[in-house]
Structure 1
Amino acid sequence: MAEAHASLGALLGHARRRLSVSFIEDPALEARMIVEHFSSTSRKEAISNPDMPLPPPIVAAVASALDRRLNHEPVHRIFGFREFYGLRLSLSAETLEPRPDTEALVEAVLPIVRKTVLSVGGCRILDLGTGTGAIALALLSEVAQAEATGVDISVDALETAARNAAENGLEFRFTTLCSDWFADVSGGYHVIVSNPPYISQQELAELDPEVRHFDPLRALDGGNDGLDAYRVIARDAGLHLLPGGCVAVEIGHTQKEDVTAIFERADLRLFAASKDLAGSDRTLIFEMK
């Protein structure tokens, strides 16, 4: 807005109007998120004290954030973090932004981790393509006796995951490993989890700009048919599963049959599947035959 000073209510109205464009589904929500984030205010304050004056640096920060959002940059990329399963996770250029759909994978695996702890006193988790560390750290936050190794080919992602572990008090049970999938992995694990790249190359070109331009391509590109990563995971998982262990993967909503067939050919049978909140197939869990 033109003036250097603004009231909270006026800034919210200005932000909502600027974000009223075709590709933003809920401009009022996003305007509130941005203004509250940069002004450290709450919705309650917006209602009870809309005339609260805001200083020029806050007005300028909001204006810059609105420009970035209108350039299709997602809100949480602008903030630099996202909440996932109750954890605040920092984002970086080479990490996928963790999304609520992936919480379905955490929910599916948690009972297995807890059962393993009750049975053997601990649970070793391997998170392939860990990114922000979201899946592994969510599991560790729920089960104190579990420990996890986050694997990624990106050094930037591993540094981000390690920072997220430290910021959430989980650094003593989380380690990182730079590896191309299983290439440098040794030892056995009770649970192997992964949200691998599963977008086909044809679909990549059709993604929304928010995803196509701001999520790392390496975390999205699943090859010609979107299934390349599943073939690698299925091929080598059995070499690193402890007795009674399992492999849990997130999938695209049309991939259940194809991914199941890939794992079946690698002598891993499907024993559990679950859907996300939208009712789409999202999680498959396999065990050795």
Structure 2
Amino acid sequence: MGTWSSDTLKSATLRLHKAGVENPGYDTTKLFESCLGKRIYSLNKEEIDTIPGKIWSSFENLIKLREQRMPIAKIVNEKEFWGRSFHVNTEVLDPRPDTEVLIEEALSEEFGQFLDLGVGSGCLLVTLLVEKPAAYGVGSDISPSCIRVAGINIERFGLKDRCKLVTSDWFSEINCNFDLIISNPPYISKDEYETLQPEIRYFEPKIALTLEDDGLESYRKIASEVSKYLNHNGRLIIEIGFGKYHQVKRIFERTDLSLENEIPDLCGITRALVFRKV
């Protein structure tokens, strides 16, 4: 592109549409605003046409990435969750709005020490710590890259003194008990993984999405050990995949945990299960 103007935005939108991007106009605006550092709606056409070329060049680079189906969050390295912005990259799963139902349920009663099993970006760990100032959290993950990103977000919110990060294969390096264990484990089956959108399949960490199994192995692993790490009356809040409710419920029937609640997502589909150690 040699000439930069408001028409460049229209051209970028068309390019994203041709690339198969679901919301090309919205994505064009978000990427342009990330380069501009302000909302585009505060500018008129003449002001847009006088924006410096270096900003347009940066915008062009971002559009090229989005044409390759890289998600906006991965491009700008930021993703919002529970009203806060978190650092993300291709090594961690982007926080999803539907996962906020786990936070809502966790906050429905008091807890002291808690475990975020599979901490990823740290969005659950950080959010619970900020919302519950008296709580102490442990975040575990098998991926050292996730531990690094979670550490960045912990630093961002000034929470270093109220939590600990542990590189752990499920419970292998966990040596204490908790009032609450919260987890969004990999639950995509091997077959389902091949049908995912390019944004997910190529730019999200595979290990956070699937164990290349039937989509239930994570639950089997958690169910086999979780009771040992829960205090009496402690809760396990765990996210589940679409269509996996009955299978996950059966897996946990073999434990000493009692199913207490089923949490729907924004579409009314069961997104999380709540178990209690009684």
Q: Same fold (TM over 0.5)?
A: yes
Quick check: 1:201 aligned with 2:198? Answer: no
Distance 1:139 1:252 in 2: 22
Give the gaps of 5 or more residues in structure 1.
Answer: 117-122
**Farther off after superposition, 278-287 or 16-25:** 16-25
1:11 deviates by 3.7
Instruction: Specify the code of the residue in structure 1 equivalent to 2:222.
Output: I
The two structures have a TM-score, normalised by structure 1, of 0.92
Give the gaps of 5 or more residues in structure 2.
Answer: none
Counterpart residue number, 2:168 = 179
Counterpart residue number, 1:77 = 74
1:96 deviates by 0.7
Distance 2:44 2:138 in 1: 46
1:194 deviates by 0.5
Seen in structure 2, the aligned counterparts of structure 1 residues 11 and 42 have a Cα distance that, compared at 3 Å, is farther
Counterpart residue number, 2:253 = 264
Distance 2:163 2:44 in 1: 42
- Write the deviation string for residues 236-262 of structure 1: whole angstroms up to 9, x where unpaired: 111111121011100012111111111
Quick check: 1:225 aligned with 2:214? Answer: yes
Seen in structure 2, the aligned counterparts of structure 1 residues 272 and 49 have a Cα distance that, compared at 3 Å, is farther
Distance 2:44 2:275 in 1: 50
1:52 deviates by 5.0
1:50 deviates by 4.3
For 1:1-289, what aligned pairs fall within 5 Å after superposition? 1-3=1-3, 6-7=4-5, 9-21=6-18, 23-47=20-44, 50-51=47-48, 53-112=50-109, 115-116=110-111, 123-289=112-278
Aligned-residue CA RMSD (Å): 1.6
Secondary structure at 1:234's aligned position in 2? Answer: helix
Secondary structure at 2:181's aligned position in 1? Answer: strand
Instruction: Specify the code of the residue in structure 2 equivalent to 1:205.
Output: E
Confirm or deny: 8 A CA contact 1:198 1:220 kept in the other structure: yes
Distance 1:103 1:173 in 2: 21
Instruction: Specify the code of the residue in structure 2 equivalent to 1:2.
Output: G
Confirm or deny: 8 A CA contact 2:19 2:68 kept in the other structure: no
Counterpart residue number, 1:120 = none
Confirm or deny: 8 A CA contact 2:186 2:209 kept in the other structure: yes
Moved over 6 A (4+): none
Confirm or deny: 8 A CA contact 2:74 2:90 kept in the other structure: no
Distance 2:242 2:222 in 1: 19
1:77 deviates by 0.5
The two structures have a TM-score, normalised by structure 2, of 0.95
- Write the deviation string for residues 32-64 of structure 1: whole angstroms up to 9, x where unpaired: 000001111213323486445222221111111
Secondary structure at 1:18's aligned position in 2? Answer: helix
Seen in structure 2, the aligned counterparts of structure 1 residues 269 and 20 have a Cα distance that, compared at 3 Å, is same
Distance 2:228 2:53 in 1: 59
Secondary structure at 1:30's aligned position in 2? Answer: helix
